[in-house]
Amino acid sequence: MAVKVSVTENNGQKVLTIGVTGRLDIYSYGEFSAAYKDHIADCSQTVIDMSELEYIDSSALGMLLMLRERAGGAQAAIKIVNCSPAVAKILATVKFDKLFGITPV
Amino acid sequence: MSMAPSNTLPRPAVLIVEDDEISQKIVKRLLENMGHECVAIVGDGEQAVEIAGQKRPDIVLMDINLQGEIDGIETAERIQKIYSPVLIYMTAQSDVDLSRIYKTSPFGYLLKPLVLDQAKVLLDLARHRIFDGAAPPGPHKPDVGQFYSHVLQFIDGLDVGHLCLNEKGMILGADSKASRILKAKSGDLIGKSIDATPFGLGSRDRPGEPGAGGRPPEALYDSSRVQVTRIPAPAGALPGECSVVVLLKEIGEPGASHSDGDSQLDSVKSAYDAALQKYHLAETIVQKMRHRFVEKPDYVNFFIQSKEAMGGDIFLFSQGTAGKAAYFLLGDCAGHGLHAALGLLPIIETFYVMSGQDKPLAHIIGALLENTQQSLPTRMFIAAALVKLDYARGLVEIWNAGLPDVVIRNHLGELIRIESSGLPLGVVSRSQYDIQIESRSVEHGDKIFLYTDGVIEAMDASKEMYGQERLENFLQSTGVCGSLVEGVKSEMQKFCKGIPHHDDMTFVEICVPERPSLEACHLPGVAWKMSFDLSAQALKATDYRPLFMDMMLKTHVDFVARKEEIFLVLSELYSNALNHGLLRLDPDLRNDPEQFFLAWRDRLDKLDTGWIKIDLTFRREDEGNRLDIEMEDSGPGFELSGKKDAGDESAGGRGILLLRSLCKEIRYEPPGNKAVAVFAWPRPE
């Protein structure tokens, strides 16, 4: 997998965009965490772009929760965009649609 | 009886347990004259147990009436817990407690003051029993004591005396009630005939039957006063050479009516008959069960040498129904007799039933542990090795609980030893047991050897043991081809120089056969089946999930639309097997992803044993597509009841929730090291 991270400004607010390519799972845990850890505290919004994502497993769900925790927990504004309908369905099954703003492709 | 010329036999080692100095001297001189070795003379029971344990004499000459804490019979019982020497009692007591004596199954006993000629004959017989295979059938049968004491229970409390007779009608033993009824000391009764019928000519001077020498035959009882019931017993069911039990009941006693005596005798006889019947039934069942090889496959060779009919070693073989694996159980049972033999039945049955269903080894072991705990009599346990040879996958799983090292000789001639990893069956319960199974890949040409300790503990005349080293040297030195079983047998015989074995011994050789070709695709409805065996090294090196996905996607276009879900299901099973089955990560750790990741990486680095087996089966059926994912790991499994509930918001709960919502069927097979998920989806239009 590969993670692309960029920080942009939108109306004076910093937005962190994380683009995930390939698989998000325990094998990519280190890379995923390292990619956002320097930026997450500075940004008021986080967008996870799943357009290049192929597969996720259930450990990836734990990683998404941890990201949410580091972004401020209940106060965090995190969007998951461009995920496949199947991934959207998986996220909805575990009620992640209540924690993240999910926009399928 | 046929005897080899005396001078060709080795001289046995004898322990004298006797506290009277004069008797000590007499016996010692007798032994010297006969050329027997006297290992020690002790006057105290506890000391005797210790010395017998150290020096293992062939014969123990035991005075019954010893000073000190324990008497001779108890001393004998304690020695028999260590090993089984030939036991000869010496006693000045004329009123011997037969039931206690018989429980220890003595070879014979000598009345004091000793008659030297008698003692000599008995010792000579004992020597033949030890060193000559053609010696008279041994009175030394632990089964017998148990059966006999069972019978004595029926007589106990009734006013019935009993005698034991040999086949010639000569009295070998009498209890105190019999001696009262016959108005004679039991010591005086021994050797006499119960009836007026004279002994056969040949038996008159037959040696070894104390007191046989030329007494005039006379009836010992008055048939108008004593009622006699004879119960013949089949060979081996009663102690020693005893073949008939005679029940004696006084009739015409004041206050006792005729019919009372009759009915008492009848009830004893029928109880006795019932006990005998049970004994034979059990013997027949156990014998049949033990040798229930449907058909011994060509690649298995073994020999079993048993000391007695019941008790000792068991070797079971079973072919799983799927025809992919074979199961073997070698057991060395401590404990003998009817109860022990009956205690084995549920274990034998469990083995056959579960292996017939191709259950995972850990599951079978769990059931065996449970069964032994429930069904084995106390103080009985079974040292065992259980082997599953999955020849379709070239994999062997071995669980060794108390047997000598199981040895694998690979095709390069190297020896791999699988040591015992736990207590024998029947010692602790399932919940206290840590099951450790070794798995190894094997290939055609490898051999697996299982054996009981009787093999390496076989001794030569100087009491040196054959030993594991000699055995292993032999296993390593011989060529790859052909069975080694006959070779091992003759090596041992050469080593022991004709000294017969003192313990049961079993030696098993399993030659790993060639892998059969897979025929899964001929199953109706199956489009394809893929099977993978991932070793610890493979699992460490790479993540196999994407590879499986790529292969599946290439087989059929229908996979594409559901690949994320299939990946998730596959992943969940795969991660559970790897993370919890092999890496043994605490499931609760998943709630802290960082800690979980660190522990996961650390343990994956260090992983060096274990495996995961994956079967993927794809069917295209009328109602739609179906993918069966079976994931089995080498781990111990987990408590199924402790499985996270789907309503649980923890990481584990999420996993279960996803599996249940995505799969048509999800199940875990006990002991929880195998998961089966069925993912079904309609065919796209």
All residues of chain B having their beta carbon less than 8 Å from the beta carbon of residue A33 are: 594
DSSP state of B465: B
Do B639 and B668 meet the contact criterion of CB atoms below 8 Å apart?
A: no
Q: Does B540 touch chain A (CB under 8 A)?
A: no
Give the strand order in the sheet containing B611-621. Answer: B526-535, B611-621, B624-633, B674-681, B665-669
The CATH homologous superfamily for domain B294-516 is: PPM-type phosphatase domain (3.60.40.10)
Q: What is the dihedral of CA B354, B308, B55, B35, to 10 degrees?
A: -160
Assigned fold of B6-131: Rossmann fold (3.40.50)
Q: Domain residues of chain B, as ranges?
A: 6-131, 146-283, 294-516, 520-681
- Structural domains present in chain A: 2-104 (3.30.750.24)
Task: Look at A82-86, A100-104, B134-138, B628-632 and tell me which has the smallest mean pLDDT.
Answer: B134-138
A58 touches chain B (CB under 8 A): yes
What six digits make up the tokens of B338?
A: 């009817």
Q: Which amino acid is at B560?
A: V
DSSP annotation of A62 reads H
Distance CA B658, CA B660 (A): 5
Taking a C-beta distance cutoff of 8 angstroms, is the pair B547, B538 a contact?
no
Query: Are B600 and A26 inside 8 Å of each other by CB?
Result: yes
Residue with tokens 């005349």: B461
Question: Is the ipTM here above 0.90?
Answer: yes
User: Across the interface, do B564 and A90 touch by the CB < 8 Å criterion?
Assistant: yes
* A56 at interface of B, judged by CB pairs closer than 8 A: yes
Residue with tokens 């013997």: B283
pTM of the model: 0.41
Q: What residues of B are in contact with residue A27 (Cβ under 8 Å)?
A: 543
Q: Which residues of B touch A94 (CB under 8 A)?
A: 654, 657-658
Least trusted range by pLDDT, from A77-86, B349-358, B416-425, B595-604? B349-358
Model confidence band, residue B282 (pLDDT cutoffs 50, 70, 90): low
Contact state of A86 with B593 under an 8 Å Cβ cutoff: no
To test the contact with chain B by mutation, choose from A58, A67, A90 the residue with the greatest count of B C-beta atoms within 10 A, namely A58
Integer angstrom CA distances of residue B566 from A53, B560, B561: 15, 10, 10
Residues in chain B: 685
| B517 secondary structure, DSSP code | P
- pLDDT class of B517 with cuts at 50, 70, 90: low
Edge to edge, the sheet with strand B37-42 lists B37-42, B13-17, B59-63, B86-91, B108-111
User: What mean pLDDT, rounded, does chain B reach?
Assistant: 78
Task: Identify the CA nearest to B551 among candidates B568, B533, B535, B567.
Answer: B567
Query: What is the band of B391 on the pLDDT scale with cuts at 50, 70, 90?
Result: confident
Whether B197 shows a pLDDT value over 60: the answer reads: no
B480 band by pLDDT with thresholds 50, 70 and 90? low
CA nearest to B563 within chain A: A55
User: Mean pLDDT over residues B182-204, rounded?
Assistant: 62
CB proximity A65 to B under 8 Å = yes
One of 3.30.450, 3.30.2010, 3.50.50, 2.30.30 is the CATH number of B146-283, namely: 3.30.450
Concatenated DSSP letters for B406-463? EEEE-TTS-EEEE---SPPBTSS-GGG-----EEEE--TT-EEEEE-HHHHT-B-TT-
Nearest residue of chain A to residue B646 (CA atoms): A94
Q: Which residues of chain B have a CB within 8 Å of the CB of A84?
A: 564
DSSP B184-240: S-HHHHTT-BSSSSPPPHHHHT-TTSTT-SSPPP---S-TTTEEEEEEE--TTSSST
Contacts of A23 in chain B (CB under 8 A): 546
Minimal Cβ distance to B590: which of A62, A84, A87: A62
Q: Rounded to 10 degrees, what is the CA torsion of B256, B260, B262, B265? A: -100
Cβ of A12 under 8 Å from any chain B Cβ?
no
Asked if B631 and B569 touch (Cβ cutoff 8 Å), the reply is no
Give Dmax (Cα) for chain A: 36
Question: Which one-letter amino acid corresponds to residue B314?
Answer: I
Percent of chain B clearing pLDDT 70 (strictly above):
73
Does pLDDT of B17 surpass 90?
yes
Q: Which residue has the higher pLDDT, B120 or B439?
A: B439
Token pair listed for B183: 């108005």
Beta carbons of B658 and A33 less than 8 Å apart: no
Question: What stretch of H or E contains B138?
Answer: none
For residues A30 and B374, which has the higher predicted lDDT (pLDDT)? A30
Is B596 touching A (CB cutoff 8 A)? yes
**Best mutation target, B564, B662, B679, to test chain A (most A CBs within 10 A):** B564
pLDDT at B135 over 50: no
Q: Decide if A84 touches B, using CB distance below 8 A.
A: yes
Judged by a CB distance cut-off of 8 A, whether residue B647 touches chain A is: no
* CA end-to-end span of chain A: 20
Mutation target for A interface from B542, B568, B590: give the one with most A CBs within 10 A: B568
- Whether the bond into B113 is cis, omega within 30 of 0: yes
Domain spanning B520-681: CATH superfamily: Histidine kinase-like ATPase, C-terminal domain (3.30.565.10)
By the CB < 8 Å criterion, does A55 face chain B? Answer: yes
A66: which chain B residues are within 8 Å (Cβ-Cβ)? Answer: 593-594
Q: How many residues comprise chain A?
A: 105
Summarised one tens digit per residue, pLDDT across range B25-41 is: 888 888 888 888 889 99
Residue B129 has pLDDT above 80, yes or no: no
Q: Do A65 and B593 count as a contact with CB atoms less than 8 A apart?
A: yes
Give me the mean pLDDT over the A72-100 stretch: 92
Pairing between strand A78-83 and A45-49? parallel
3-state secondary structure B313-371: EEEEEEECCCCCCEEEEEEEEECCHHHHHHHHHHHHHHHHHHHHCCCCHHHHHHHHHHH
